[in-house]
Amino acid sequence: MKESGHHPPRNIIQKIASLRDKLHEHNYRYYVLDQPVISDAAYDAMLKELERLEKQYPELVTPDSPTQRVGTAPLDSFNRIEHRVPMFSLSNTYDTREIIDFEQRMQKLIGDEQKITYVVEPKLDGLAVELVYERGIFVRGSTRGDGFAGEDITLNLKTIGSLPLRFRPRSESAPERVDIRGEVVMPRQELEALNRRRAEEGLPLFANPRNAAAGSLRQLDPRITARRRLDLFCYAVGYHEGVTFTSQWQLLSQLESWGFKVTENRYLADSGEEIIARCQQIENLRNQLPYDIDGTVIKVNSLALQQQLGEKSRSPRWAIAYKFKAQEETTKILDIIVQVGRTGALTPVAIMEPVRVGGVEISRATLHNFDDLHHKDIRIGDHVVVKRAGDVIPEVIAPITALRTGTEKPFPLPTRCPVCGAHVIREPEGIIYRCTAGLSCPAQLTGSIFHFGSKRAMDIDGLGMKLVEQLVGKGIIKDIADLYNLDAETLAGLERFGEKSARNLLEAIEASKHRPLNRFIYGLGIRHVGEHLARVVVQHCPDLLISGPPDPDTLMNIPEIGPQVAQSIYEFFREKKNLSVIRKLLDYGVDPQPPETAEKSQPLAGKRLVITGTLSQPRNLVKDRLEKAGARVSGTVSPQTDYLLAGKNPGSKLERARNLNVNVISETELEILLNPSSSGSETQPLLPLLEQQPETEKSHEQ
């Protein structure tokens, strides 16, 4: 280390300043714009160089240096900080009629001669904070607390990558002081990862992202906070000196230009009806966003009018929060039952006191698996938090242990199938418990037949689950081959099934006899063999139904076939009952055709793709095209992913792809990949995300 009293060389001062400027800019591009231009490794190398120089010249360390984001020593407690301007809470409404009342009340208070404009923004479901900047440098931050004072969480806030340690661009004319208000949130994907880690450690799980964000910010050790990927959105200012704002819209634009993350989904509105329309527009985005929102905030746009309207009690008169229907509620578990799926997998399901969640009454919710059930320690009789997001199956998040009375009963691990009574086994190195009865188990038979006739398999139009349940329940069908022995008279005798429906179904069954072999294999429901692997298998084993599959070692020579899949295929075709059903299918005239292939040249052969966001075509059609072009379509971004196809409103997969330097492409760029010769671009490789962005990702530039 340099001896004290030696002035650092000028070139060192300049190098440190340059490194800081570059790191601040890359932080902004990564955390705020979601548009990184360098790799993580390059960023880490610059940061390490800066740390080395600051260690050598400690007198050059400044509070806004990127090296100062994570403190080293835990705090004993949080100090209390007063807000120079109180952080008022908002009046809430759940009724759109009250939005009309609010707009009319504002107009009446201001007078009809002046038209009022409003700003409608998402109401983020996190922890409200205040950030104090002096001459553009972050100096301290606090929680909202009681509105007049909060806890000093400066060190924890510094760990949030989207919080600027100084304004950008760097300017000597930065305001003397600005107190900026915002919301710290935890992305849903990060909450899932955090809860997985906590479950492995036997720790209580967080019930929702809001609680997780609050708990993370109130850690006395900032290093714990740093390990949880929190995010920050800013939306208001409190006390300010040396800067003026004219409107909420202009204020948000100014925050954005200073380098703060501001919601893109903000709108202007001139009437109560338009406000309601904007609220509904934001609510429609609710489940597409990577973080939770629980409503919208409606504000008078003009700050002069805000000042004129003033406050009432502890809330501003010029703003109101419209709350969406709750997606989380509490209820009580009356019982836990076990469902048996098509592959014999056993899933625990909670039977609950009915409760309305997200506008829908629910009385059942998934408990995922028995490991999850026991990690969460959910018991019969527990009061629990339940969640429903969009159209997904409701799930139990966590028990409310404080309400336990001692009468609650843990649910035992199953040893017998609840449907057929067969033995249950746990998969080696897995979390799934499975019935061993196979197709003789009625629960699996129903699912197997429905899967066999599904659109992506044999595509038997009209073969719905209720019909399958009738056919199995009445003993008309005892295996999938019996589908091809149905007649109009039998079908016409079923509940709500007329002559025309019977004729249509029989025509669909007849047409299915000549589906491609890969769809037939997929329809058999072989464990671990989905659509893509079915296509891979039949391309390498086109005589599978005649000669049977090779041994597992030979199967593993096929690209993408590992030991688990190879063993599953081999065992399936060794099972006499399965071979009997296949022979029966062939005897009934099922004649699988040569496997589906794309063009002789497969432009995406061996490539792995993931899809995110809304596409211009149905996702199934796009997936089908990709697989015909030789691609493997996965649901998870990993280091092995070659491309992420990003549509509108992409989710958290986009951030992970960027973190892993996975190429992100638009639908237009996909067409170039699929048709290189017709595009004239066969010699021009697609630019990766670091150099080129899909149009849907340029909203910050608009």
Same structural domain, 252 and 291: yes
Residue 3 lies in a domain: no
pLDDT in tens, 537-573: 998 888 888 887 788 888 988 888 888 888 878 877 8
Which residues does the annotation mark as catalytic? 123
The answer to whether 229 and 190 have CB atoms below 8 angstroms apart is yes
Same structural domain, 358 and 484: no
Size of the chain, expressed as the number of residues it contains = 702
The CATH code of the domain that includes 205 is: 3.30.470.30
Cβ atoms within 10 Å of 334's Cβ, excluding its own: 12
Same structural domain, 110 and 259: yes
Same structural domain, 246 and 147: yes
Q: Does the pLDDT of residue 691 top 50, yes or no?
A: no
Is residue 376 packed enough to be buried (19+ CB in 10 Å), middle (13-18) or exposed (0-12)? buried
Residue 207 lies in a domain: yes
Q: Which domain holds residue 166?
A: 92-323
| pLDDT band, very low/low/confident/very high, at 51 (cuts 50, 70, 90) | confident
Is residue 293 packed enough to be buried (19+ CB in 10 Å), middle (13-18) or exposed (0-12)? buried
Same structural domain, 294 and 152: yes
The conformation of residue 386, written as its DSSP 8-state character, comes to E
Residue 419 lies in a domain: no
Residue 428 lies in a domain: no
The span from the CA of 172 to the CA of 135, in Å, is 8
pTM of the model: 0.50
Residue 141 lies in a domain: yes
H-only helix segments in 556-610: 563-574, 576-587
Q: Which of 296, 323, 350 marks a domain boundary?
A: 323
Same structural domain, 309 and 203: yes
The span from the CA of 460 to the CA of 452, in Å, is 8
In order of 37, 161, 215, 259, 415, the CA distances from 31 in angstroms are: 12, 6, 21, 10, 49
Same structural domain, 235 and 131: yes
Number of structural domains the chain divides into: 6
- Letter for the amino acid at 439? L
What's the pLDDT score for residue 105? 93
Q: Which of 68, 83, 101 marks a domain boundary?
A: 68
Residue 478 lies in a domain: yes
Residue 361 lies in a domain: yes
The span from the CA of 262 to the CA of 259, in Å, is 9
Same structural domain, 371 and 316: no
The CATH code of the domain that includes 553 is: 1.10.150.20
pLDDT in tens, 420-460: 787 787 876 667 888 866 656 777 888 889 899 998 899 99
Same structural domain, 632 and 551: no
pLDDT in tens, 319-372: 999 988 767 789 999 999 998 886 788 989 999 999 887 667 889 888 888 888
Same structural domain, 150 and 291: yes
Q: Which of 499, 514, 529 marks a domain boundary?
A: 514
pLDDT in tens, 292-303: 898 999 999 999
Residue 25 parent element (H or E)? helix 10-27
Residue 594 lies in a domain: no
| pLDDT band, very low/low/confident/very high, at 29 (cuts 50, 70, 90) | confident
pLDDT in tens, 495-538: 878 888 888 999 999 999 999 999 999 999 887 888 888 988 99
Same structural domain, 182 and 315: yes
Q: Does the pLDDT of residue 684 top 80, yes or no?
A: no
Same structural domain, 168 and 290: yes
The span from the CA of 50 to the CA of 40, in Å, is 15
Which range (202-206, 308-312, 431-435) has the least confidence? 202-206
The answer to whether 512 and 459 have CB atoms below 8 angstroms apart is yes
Residue 569: closest CA among 584, 554, 559, 580: 554
Is residue 211 packed enough to be buried (19+ CB in 10 Å), middle (13-18) or exposed (0-12)? middle
